Amino acid sequence: MRFTFGAFALLAGSLVFGAPPGNPQQRGLLTLLETRDVAPGEHVDLDLEARADDTSGNLVARAPTCNTPSNRACWSTGFNINTDYETSTPTTGVTKFYTLTLTEVDNWVGPDGVTKKKVMLVNGKILGPTIVADWGDFIQITVINNLRTNGTSIHWHGMRQFGSNLQDGANGVTECPIPPKGGSKIYKFRASQYGTSWYHSHFSAQYGNGVVGSMQINGPASLPYDIDLGVFPITDYYYRTADELVLFTENNGAPFSDNVLFNGTNVHPVTGVGKYANVTLTPGKRHRLRLINPSTENHFQLSLVGHDMTIISSDLVPVNAMTVSSVFLGVGQRLDVTIDASKTPGNYWFNVTFGGQNFCGGSQNPTPAAIFHYAGAPGGLPTNKGVAPVDHQCLDLLNLTPVVTRSVTPGGFNPNPGNTLPVTIDLSGTPLFVWKVNGSAINVDWNKPVLDYVLTGNTSYPPRNNLIQVNSVNQWTYWLIENDPDGPFSLPHPIHLHGHDFLIVGRSPDVTPGSQTRFKFNAATDNARLNGSNPARRDVAMLPAKGWLLIAFKTDNPGAWLMHCHIAWHVSGGLSVDFLERPADLKAGISAADKAAFNQNCAAWRAYFPSQDPFPKIDSGLKMMKHKYVV
Ligand SMILES: *[C@@H]1O[C@H](CO)[C@@H](O)[C@H](O)[C@H]1NC(C)=O
Ligand SMILES: *[C@@H]1O[C@H](CO)[C@@H](O)[C@H](O)[C@H]1NC(C)=O
Ligand SMILES: *[C@@H]1O[C@H](CO)[C@@H](O)[C@H](O)[C@H]1NC(C)=O
Ligand SMILES: *[C@@H]1O[C@H](CO)[C@@H](O)[C@H](O)[C@H]1NC(C)=O
Ligand SMILES: *[C@@H]1O[C@H](CO)[C@@H](O)[C@H](O)[C@H]1NC(C)=O
Ligand SMILES: *[C@@H]1O[C@H](CO)[C@@H](O)[C@H](O)[C@H]1NC(C)=O
Ligand SMILES: *[C@@H]1O[C@H](CO)[C@@H](O)[C@H](O)[C@H]1NC(C)=O
């Protein structure tokens, strides 16, 4: 029996079973696959995934692929690392199903032995299930909110949501929150990009209580490698609840984290309770590791004693391989790296260090670390402490070159009120810290999201939504973000945009954040600093303290897209705008079914909030803030 690739892909495309593994149909398929002839030299990837955390019990056969250890650039017929993924997506015919159930647990004993008063978990775990799909698959996720009083909405960080703005999971913007005590919602969108990302609650400070998980979209890569180690989330960890920390950070600086968890675990720095994350490397092999920073505040420098890392993707943008001895990973960012297990077999520390004079975070754990163990070597703790990497000064790399190029001509960029977004801190009221963009702190209305206005054609958008309407079609738009050059003090901010990967066209000169050196964009001198020739492109970029960042995105994706600081305490305090991109096209593109689902969820939420919720809304709604805001 012999299939052509095309025929097999077609067959694989229809193989999505609702029954648990082991039914006759599936056994039939397995037999079919096992007995298939393989031509000499042909690589067949019979990647049958039956995921324990996939409550639908799907068994999905992946199409055969030319993606091999020696040729990761290849993916499938007609699709490879050079394919423009914003215009071409493989048709897999596959939908991956997941169910995420949120619960609230009191007096929960954490991985390092400390009991937390309260956590909010996804499927009972500190890290929710990793959502895994192939490039081109649809992903359908049922979110069940079994929390006691909080609403929720889940944002699929970095997913472009091309044509599917309503699936973006930004409550108060693209949906009403999902009500607690059993409320549910089905999200469905296409994995049109590939690489590494994460998901998190966008309801107040909730993700800091544990409503977080990773995403892995398999696709081609810019460098060959042997082994994909999968996702490796590294996060700040606090013993106080996120709700307590929000109240604290409104009037105080962000506290150091109590610990840093690597892939959900670490030892307590004082008591020694807990386990180090322990990653096994296979000697002589090249490994891919998918680094994710799902923190609320800590930005990390990461290094592996004695080893380099080679960056192959930044956020969901594949880049030409670049080898470095350490990386900077801002909140919300991802870097896919390869690591060659080419050193003396043994155990090596993988370290987190903090740079930039702690202006972008610090921890009570003085040396957070994980173990990288060479298979076959004796166990035990690494002995070589290594050396601290060069200080990245809270800045990300600008010299990463995307494989699929995008170039713009920013020449002669002129700042004006229509393209400039000043970030400021307002210390004049209660609470002490209120973060504003262009003079206003965002305060979304959970009960009347921006999409409600779009769907009903009501253009009386309240100023509290911090909307920036953009009507141009398929044009590059430039946004100059200025970080409080004249304020009392300024912190670096990880700026995240929904719905687009943006080009980092330029930023102010690199200085230490502690120096608080003031830079204001000056067209006469700073235009020479801009680079529109396939510059770094991603979905989170660092805005330097007292400096500026110039980004560009193309108006090719109608939607209401937040752009916010990803430090939970700052977006909680108002640091966000909402680009309303082509509202007429947005409205025209929404199906009757999606509109009905939107309205149904809003009706359920409004029946609950505010009348049935024992707690008021006390923040921007996207994260949390006290006093300033009411319903
Ligand atoms: C969400 O739950 C937390 C923890 O119980 C609580 O502190 C907060 O006030 C709740 N917020 C809302 C709006 O229900
Ligand atoms: C992370 O933890 C999960 C669950 O414990 C494990 O399956 C996975 O292999 C770990 N990842 C790495 C890179 O070690
Ligand atoms: C790490 O894992 C390896 C392989 O399972 C094991 O041999 C080693 O003892 C572990 N190291 C520690 C410190 O637990
Ligand atoms: C790496 O972590 C280990 C274990 O915490 C520590 O002993 C060592 O000093 C750290 N090295 C660096 C460079 O931070
Ligand atoms: C612009 O940035 C890209 C990506 O890092 C780099 O390859 C290119 O050399 C830069 N061009 C200039 C003029 O700096
Ligand atoms: C900032 O606010 C000013 C004054 O309200 C307004 O004219 C300007 O268009 C706003 N800027 C942006 C980028 O929306
Ligand atoms: C439009 O929205 C505004 C602000 O929420 C509201 O006051 C007004 O009644 C709405 N208009 C219509 C026709 O619904």
Distance 349 CA to ligand 4 centre (A): 7
Exposure string for 562-578, b = 16+ CB within 10 A, e = fewer: bbbbbbbbbbbbbbbbb
Shared-domain flag, residues 364 and 425 = no
Does the residue 163 lie in any domain? no
Pocket lining: 150 vs ligand 1, CB cutoff 6 Å: yes
In the reported structure, the alpha carbon of residue 557 is separated from the centroid of ligand 5 by a whole-number distance in angstroms of 26
Q: Tell me if 588 is assigned to some domain.
A: yes
Instruction: Output b/e per residue, 109-134; b: 16+ Cβ within 10 A.
Output: ebbbebebebbbbbbeebbbbbbbbb
Where helices occur in 1-69 by DSSP H, the ranges are 5-13, 24-35
Q: What is the DSSP string of 527-583?
A: GGG---SS--EESEEEEPTT-EEEEEEES-S-EEEEEEE-SHHHHHTT-EEEEEE-H
Quick one: average pLDDT of 5-13?
27
Tell me how far the alpha carbon of residue 211 lies from the centroid of ligand 4, in angstroms: 29
Q: Is residue 496 part of a domain?
A: yes
Answer whether residue 20 shows pLDDT above 90: no
Q: Are 477 and 344 found together in one domain?
A: no
Residue 438 CA, closest ligand 6 atom number: 1
- What are the distances in angstroms from CA 312 to CA 224, 324, 335, 527? 10, 11, 8, 29
Question: What is the Cβ-side half-sphere exposure of residue 441, based on CA atoms within 13 angstroms?
Answer: 26
Mean pLDDT of the chain: 89
Please tell me if the CB atom of residue 149 comes closer than 6 angstroms to any atom of ligand 1: yes
The structural domain count of the chain equals 2
Measured in Å, residue 252 CA sits from the centre of ligand 1 at: 21
Beta strands in 387-526 (DSSP E): 420-426, 434-437, 467-470, 476-483, 493-497, 502-507
Check residue 64 and give its pLDDT.
55
d(CA 151, ligand 1 centre) in Å: 9
425 shares a domain with 368: no
Cβ pair 309, 339 in contact under 8 A: yes
Asked if residue 188 belongs to a domain, the reply is: no
Residues 286 and 427 in one domain: no
* Ligand 1 contact via 105 beta carbon (within 6 Å): no
Nearest C-alpha neighbor of 188 from the set 256, 139, 251: 139
Specify the ligand 5 atom closest to the Cα of 398: 5
Q: Is the CB of 438 under 6 A from ligand 6?
A: yes
Question: For 512-551, what is each residue's pLDDT tens digit?
Answer: 999 999 999 999 999 999 999 999 999 999 999 999 999 9
Six-digit token string for 409: 């001509």
- What pLDDT was estimated at residue 63? 52
Rounded Cα–Cα distance for residues 288 and 292 (Å): 13
Cα separation, 160 vs 316, in Å, equals: 9
Which atom in ligand 6 lies closest to the alpha carbon of residue 420? 13
DSSP letter for 623, please.
S
The mean pLDDT of 357-378, rounded to a whole number, is 98
pTM for the whole structure: 0.91
pLDDT at 410: 82
CA 336/CA 318 separation, integer angstroms: 9
If asked whether residues 357 and 464 sit together in one domain, one would say no
What percent of the chain is predicted at pLDDT more than 90?
Answer: 85
Judge whether 28 lies within some domain.
no
Which residue, of 317, 342, 374, is where some domain finishes? 374
Looking at the structure, do residues 353 and 438 belong to the same domain, yes or no? no
Q: Which residues pair with 234 in a beta bridge?
A: 262
Q: Is the CB of 468 under 6 A from ligand 6?
A: yes
Cα gap 539→537, rounded to integer Å: 7
**Per-residue pLDDT reduced to its tens digit, 63-95:** 557 999 999 999 999 999 999 999 999 999 999
- Domain with 267, as residue range(s), is 227-374
Taking CA 368 as the corner, what is the angle to CA 495 and CA 109, rounded to the nearest 5 degrees?
95
Q: Candidates 437, 438, 440, 577: which one to mutate for ligand 6, based on the most atoms within 8 Å of Cβ?
A: 438
Q: Ligand 5 mean position to 535 CA, how many Å?
A: 6
In a domain, 88, yes or no: no
Answer whether residue 69 is part of any domain. no
- Out of 316, 341, 374, pick the residue that ends a domain: 374
Domain presence at residue 400: no
Q: In the listed set 374, 392, 411, which residue is the last one of a domain according to the structure?
A: 374
Q: 229 CB less than 6 Å from ligand 2?
A: yes
Is 368 in the same domain as 429? no
Does residue 625 register a pLDDT over 50? no
pLDDT at 411: 76
Helix (H, G, I), strand (E, B) or coil at 595: helix
Q: Give the model confidence (pLDDT) of 123-132 as tens digits.
A: 999 999 999 9
- 576 in the same domain as 431: yes
Residues 579 and 465 in one domain: yes
pLDDT in tens, 142-157: 999 999 999 999 999 9
Q: Which of the four pLDDT bands, split at 50, 70 and 90, describes residue 52? A: very low
* Nearest residue by C-alpha to atom 2 in ligand 7: 460
Indicate which CATH number applies to the domain containing 483.
2.60.40.420
Share of the chain above pLDDT 70, in %: 88
Q: Please give the number of the atom of ligand 2 that sits closest to the Cα of 230.
A: 13
Ligand 1 centroid – CA 566 distance (Å): 20
Contact 145, 213 (CB under 8 A): no
Residue whose CB lies within 8 A of the most ligand 4 atoms, among 347, 385, 391, for a mutation test: 385
Say if residues 383 and 408 touch (Cβ distance below 8 Å).
Answer: no
Q: Is residue 464 classed as helix, strand or coil in its secondary structure?
A: helix
Nearest atom (ligand 1) to Cα of 618: 13
Q: Are residues 514 and 367 in the same domain?
A: no
Is the beta carbon of 462 within 6 A of some atom in ligand 7?
yes
Statement to judge: residues 426 and 369 lie in one domain: no
| Ligand 5 pocket: which of 534, 537, 538, 550 to mutate (most atoms within 8 A of CB) | 534
pLDDT, tens only, 259-315: 999 999 999 999 999 999 999 999 999 999 999 999 999 999 999 999 999 999 999
Residues 296 and 431 in one domain: no
